[in-house]
Structure 1
Amino acid sequence: MTLDRERRRCAVVGLGARAQLYTEALSGPHADLIELVGFCDVNTHRMAVHNEWITAAHPGRAPVPAYSAADFDLMLRRERVDLVVVCSVDSTHDEYIVRALEAGCDVVTEKPMTTDADRARRILDAQRRTGREVRVAFNYRYNPVHSAVRELLASGEIGEIGSVHFEWLLDLRHGADYFRRWHRDKADSGGLMVHKSTHHFDLVNWWLGTHPETVYAQGGLFFYGDTAGRRRGLARPYTRAHGSPAARDDPFAVHLADSSVLRALYLDAEHEDGYHRDQNVFGPGVTIEDDMAVLVRYASGATLTYHLTAYAPWEGYRVCFNGSEGRLELLVEESTWSRPRMRTDGASPVMHGASVGDEAGRTELLLRRFWEPPREVKVPTGEGGHGGGDVRMLADLFGQRTGAADPLGRAADAVDGARSLVTGLAANRSFESGLPVGVRELLDV
């Protein structure tokens, strides 16, 4: 990214909860290099909420100019935007990315880069045609533990990699949330294989320095949704939690009025777009899977066995690398159990969603070389979101560029975004066909 002025002029499109990471960074620690000059969203109330937060945190600062989604191109011209941060609904990413590139802007996009192969080709074509930069916000690359894994594998500690086993567990707090929100519709999110697993598939691509060639997968809706809910006796007769007596004691319900952030961004914004952030996870309309198994072969010859479960009692992941000279094992417990949290609302106790348990999680990285005792590799745990990955990624995206190359290659471009996406797209295709899918059938990256 080139510095055309003393400070680059940046706009954010999509002002939901995820955008808070960027609006806080751009109005705070990175404001000396980046000037936040525009907001764009389908909902004017949400933009006003972000402006309230910014002006409260930085007294005397003028509100950021706000534009409707229909005026996105006008915003780019009027505010002389250099950089666009895209945090909108996943299926709309390509529209904003391509229009920003064609207007001469660079782009930072939330993951996934987009939701299908046609949209990915649009982005790749526009990036090549314009010569502008697209960065995909893969914050897990910047997690210190993941960086240590990359260094160990690249140094040859376990030799050539033959296979990887990767299991990711979403607990009843986090996993259920995808089935309340717009993510529950595969047309909007691409399903968890795209929206969530793109993180994990990108890590494997990056760790191994390769890309996928063939994918076979099985998956289904086992726990959430109306059919599974009725079968297990978990279904409650409500469409959305707000205002519903049937949701008051449901541990799977989220009560927007109990959270100042959720109330401001969603409950108080409903009058503009009708979006309900608190839908019943066991209600109709869920078109994504919650239990998925994937087998991948890579160009390097390595294989991956991957499993994502969205209804686990604890949250975290295990990843193991089998090499020609040993094995590397990583265990990360992000929460050790989930419990429904009680609070008092008037005279009545109200269940308002699952919460992380009191016990702290742990991280363990073990190197097991052949003919040697196992050795634990100590890695400092990062502070902040995604194990410290968020703050490091933001510094790389918006901080002072020194010109020095990153030996770990953590910056992810549009090709990286497409290569992480295509594994999930091929898995979705395999769910439908029951057959292995060649990646190049979908996207040649």
Structure 2
Amino acid sequence: MKKYAIVGTGSRALHMFAKPMFTELKDDVQLVGVYDINLLRAKLFSQECGDVPVYPDFDKMLKEGEPDTVIVATVDQFHHEYIIRALNAGCDVISEKPLTTDAEKCRAILEAEQRTGRKVAVTFNCRYIPYVARIKELIKEGAVGDILSIHFEWNLDTRHGADYYRRWHRSMANSGGLLIHKATHHFDMLNWWLEEDPEEINAFGSRRFYGPTRENRGERCLTCSHSDSCEFYFDITADEFAKTHYYEVEAADGYIRDQCVFGDDIDIYDTMAVNVRYSGGALLTYSLNAHSPYEGWKVSINGSLGKIEAQDIHSGLQADEPTRWIQVYNRKGEQLSYAIEKSGGAHGGGDERLRRMIFVGDVADPLGQQAGTHAGAMSMLIGAAANLSIVSGKPVTIKELLHEPKEETIECVSKV
């Protein structure tokens, strides 16, 4: 039975990893320790998953708990620090996405993995969603031949999307913006479908919906004088998890979970457009917006033998439909329709399947769903290159990010 330790005790760490370790995975794994800079939150976390030992120091946890693998689920900008320290201590690592937030940190992780001989897995749960996996199968079966181009759009609604602007994600320094924190999922899914590496990126981004776009705003929802009239009001005391794990433990680290989505300090984009040229010649047009009336994604995959069209709506009028469809149009004038029943469970059933693959390992992996540092780097670097392209107004190559170490300063400016 392998031993695991967790650094970072937020919602994702609790529900994706810790709780399942004491239920569905209890016969296969042992959680030996947790660490968080907020000791009060870490203790609450421990109480919800078997009173696992809470450590006041990360290195002490590695030494005394002797984990085989460390799960990194901290704020994104610190992923590289804990990944590298765990690798140096002789542990393997499971990292929440994104792998990290910029090229310099990415290079450091790749170097540490190669030097230590340990392994880093990245949890890209989109690969495990049955609907997404069926598209991968159709591509591998040659349904559309060689892929020439992909058009992909992801829409976040103003419930889910707005939440990124309340939390630590609102800072480019913390998250790399949504082109890294959120889009790393999307870019990995596309890279996985294509089986090609990105080479050159050109991008545009703006912030015109969130941030200082209205006068009626405050510092946080809890104390805001406009709470009765603001459609983005979030009552942190009404949500039990947010109340106990964030509001009631604020004194330990000063983190405020219900910051105003129209705050002056927000410096990440809310509307993004990206073009990517891939190593095999495929072209990608990608868009992400965080203020849509509904949530979900749409894709058109154009190939030498035909076209795939698919969409998965998560909120809105079509969200409750039990069946998802994939349409294949070939050059014989035929339309082939594939029905995939909507899977239950978190993230379209992806979380449960991912856990089974990485923690139990008793199922085959013919589609290559397990992801390591190469996949983590390639998806994250598209976002990092896009951020640089937005600021510079010029295309950026993955090669220069990987092989020409230099200081990188990313500023987020709103382009109207």
Measure, in 2, the Cα distance between the counterparts of 1:444 and 1:202. Answer: 21
Q: Are the structure 2 counterparts of residues 176 and 197 from structure 1 closer, same or farther at C-alpha, using a change threshold of 3 Å? A: same
CA distance in 2, matches of 1:26, 1:262: 22
Q: Are positions 1:331 and 2:311 aligned together?
A: yes
Q: Report what 2:3 is aligned to.
A: 9
| Paired residues of 1:384 and 1:391 also in contact (CA < 8 A) | yes
Give the counterpart of 1:102 among 78, 88, 97: 88
**Contact map agreement 1:317 1:333 (CA 8 A) in 2:** yes
Q: Distance in 2 between matches of 1:359 and 1:247?
A: 30
Look up the match of 1:350: none
The DSSP-based 3-state class of the residue aligned with 2:241 is helix
Equivalent residue in structure 1 for 2:331, among 370, 373, 383: 370
Q: How far apart are residue 371 of structure 1 and its match? A: 1.9
Match of 2:32 in 1: 37
Given that 1:335 and 1:360 are in contact with CA atoms closer than 8 Å, whether structure 2 keeps it comes out as no
Paired position in structure 2 for 1:379: 340
Pick from 276, 291, 310 the counterpart of residue 296 of structure 1.
Answer: 276
Select which of 66, 71, 74 maps to 2:54.
66
Rounded to whole Å, the distance in 1 between the matches of 2:234 and 2:324 is 29
Q: Does 1:319 align with 2:314?
A: no
Quick one: distance in 1 between partners of 2:177 and 2:103? Answer: 14
Q: How many residues align?
A: 403
> Counterparts of 1:171 and 1:335 in 2: how far apart (Å)?
8
Contact 1:84 1:106 in 2 (8 A): yes
Describe the superposition over 1:239-296 as per-residue Cα deviations: whole angstroms up to 9, x where unpaired: 0011333224322121110111111111011011110010110111011000000010
| Residues 121-171 of structure 1, C-alpha deviations (whole Å, 9 max, x = no match) | 111011111111100000000000111011100111111110000000000
Residue 236 of structure 1, CA deviation: 2.3
Instruction: Report what 2:136 is aligned to.
Output: 150
Partners of 2:48 and 2:28 in 1: CA distance: 20
Q: Which position in structure 2 is the counterpart of 1:129?
A: 115
| 1:418 aligns with one of 377, 380, 395 | 377
Consecutive unaligned residues of structure 2, counting only runs of 5 or more, are 405-416
SS at match of 2:252: helix
Q: Aligned pair in 2 of structure 1 residues 11, 78: CA closer, same or farther (>3 Å)?
A: same
Question: Is 2:402 aligned against 1:443?
Answer: yes
Residues 383-433 of structure 1: CA deviation (Å, up to 9, x unaligned): 11111100000111111x34x751100000011100111100110011001
Distance (whole Å) between structure 2 residues aligned to residue 52 and residue 438 of structure 1: 47
1:321 deviates by 0.4
Contact 1:336 1:361 in 2 (8 A): no
Counterpart of 1:387 in 2: which secondary structure? coil
The change in CA–CA distance for 1:224 and 1:361 in structure 2 (over 3 A counts) is: farther
Aligned AA (2:392): S
The answer to whether 1:118 aligns with 2:113 is: no
TM-score normalised to the size of structure 1? 0.88
Whether the 8 Å contact between 1:334 and 1:362 is mirrored in structure 2 is no
Deviation, structure 1 residue 360: 5.3
Name the TM-score, length of structure 2 as normaliser: 0.94
Instruction: For structure 1, list consecutive stretches of 5 or more residues without a partner in the other structure.
Output: 1-6, 56-62, 338-356
| Shift in Å, 1:358 | 8.8
Following superposition of structure 1 onto structure 2, how do residues 181-220 of structure 1 map, counting pairs within 5 Å? Answer: 181-220=167-206
Note the aligned Cα RMSD (angstroms). 1.6
Write the distance in 2 (CA, Å) between the matches of 1:358 and 1:119: 38
